[in-house]
Amino acid sequence: MIMERLTRLNEDVCELARQAGEKIMHFYKGDAAVTWKKDASPLTAADTASHDFLVKSLRSLVPEAAIISEESHEAVDGLLDAAGWSWLVDPLDGTKEFLKGTGEFTVNVALIEAGQPILGVVHAPALGLTYWGQRNSGAWRKARDQAPTPISTRQADSSPLSVVASKDHAGPLVRTMLSRLSTPQLQSMGSSLKFCLVAEGKADLYLRDLPTMEWDTAAAQCIVEAAGGRVYTLNRKPLAYGKVGLKNPAIMTVGDVQYDWSVLIS
């Protein structure tokens, strides 16, 4: 019964993410005013429009679930519902990419239960791409009007490994890791699409050593894990949710859970 409800919710959330993306696109490549938050990250009217729509819609969809969005007051010191379901929402992940006009920005929505994402949707409105995953039920990719395609991670081949890194947030650990690889194939991308490259078997590894928040990672983590991969902290524990302050430690996202990644991060 729970599985059936999650499947219906997944369909509903995909549609809500698509509609939120339409609201974002009204402002894309236009004269969007920018304000700056306390953490020096940008905020636009597109972020706010997507946030307002998603919070209202998710509350109607599952009234009993807590909702924490990056742009909500609860984002400062919010707590997930340890006994029930909670939504983690990034209404516009990759605002810098939105402002630069690259198209590499997403709407991220995840449902959390007992500290783990059980449903996740990542929608890239400018690219016409949607990824979604459901715990123990698989992951999918849909491009514009095409039929959904199941996706899965791939077996890692050490010669060479394909590594994806952030355009704007590659820190010292990433540089150290890359120095330990022989001729890695490098890909660079914005927003949570980095995780999705691993989930669909187009990359082997995504390592992030600079800070992220739980709403940045939850939806994409669900997709990666539903596709056969894993998102770990650097002590090889699964990334969990509901931490004080909702801040993540350094993380590594891998497609092949049997490969020995320890040599890269020791």
**CATH code, domain with 227:** 3.40.190.80
Report the range out of 43-47, 102-106, 261-265 with the highest average pLDDT: 102-106
pLDDT in tens, 101-118: 999 999 999 999 999 999
Q: Is the pLDDT of residue 76 over 70?
A: no
Give the confidence band of 78 by pLDDT, cuts at 50, 70, 90: low
Which of 151, 176, 208 is at the close of a domain? 151
| CATH code for the domain of 26 | 3.30.540.10
Q: Are residues 206 and 144 in the same domain?
A: no
pLDDT in tens, 81-104: 777 899 999 999 999 899 999 999
Q: What is the pLDDT at residue 75?
A: 57
- The pTM score is 0.93
What is the arithmetic mean of pLDDT over 117-139? 97
Q: Is the pLDDT of residue 79 over 80?
A: no
Radius of gyration of the chain (CA): 17
Whether residue 82 lies inside any domain: the answer is: yes
Q: Are residues 223 and 131 in the same domain?
A: no
Which range of residues forms the domain containing residue 176? 162-265
Q: Is the pLDDT of residue 32 over 90?
A: no
Whether residue 157 lies inside any domain: the answer is: no
What is the arithmetic mean of pLDDT over 154-171? 77
What is the arithmetic mean of pLDDT over 231-246? 91
Q: Is the pLDDT of residue 251 over 80?
A: yes
Q: Are residues 146 and 169 in the same domain?
A: no
